Structure 1
């Protein structure tokens, strides 16, 4: 999977710019970077435009067990900078 960097776009607009991933309920996401970040924060955006923080366990988290469309915002910090990425999934 390729994460897309946010550049001033609304997260919902950005999610329309690339293909939605179709995944099974409760699937695990593994996230890795070439250079280890000092912190990673993840937000799950729901269809009703609400969001919540996602608990990261090592370099993994579990997707919802409720069918629906979700957008993930991944905020990553390194000693020399910060980046925000997004991707969306449809949980089947």
Structure 2
């Protein structure tokens, strides 16, 4: 996965420092990303350090198409042949990070 946007808060005494980036969209990141080759009906395990709350979205050139069901940190790959762009948003208590990956269904 490739990291995109992130937002992080750091508290120091009475002050809170917020760091936020504005990266390319997952669709734009995917243009330069080598896809994972897979067969239909496969599953993808999503593992992110420090066990954040994870939300997964399917993307196209217009933006987010839909939220993808995730169970036990796994998503199911579609049945149809093609290229699929996913955004994984990891949320921790003090911030969140957007990650992108691409799956190419060969059969």
- Structure 1 length-normalised TM: 0.85
In 2, Cα distance between the equivalents of 1:6 and 1:52? 19
Distance change in 2, residues 1:86/1:76 (3 Å): same
Q: Which runs of 5+ in 2 are unaligned?
A: 6-22
2:33 maps to what in 1?
Answer: 18
Count of matched residue pairs = 89
Q: 1 or 2, which has the higher strand percentage? A: 2
- Structure 2 length-normalised TM: 0.74
The one-character-per-residue Cα deviations of 1:10-61 (angstroms, maximum 9, x if unpaired) are 2222012221111100110011122011x21100124776611100011111
1:4 maps to what in 2?
Answer: 2
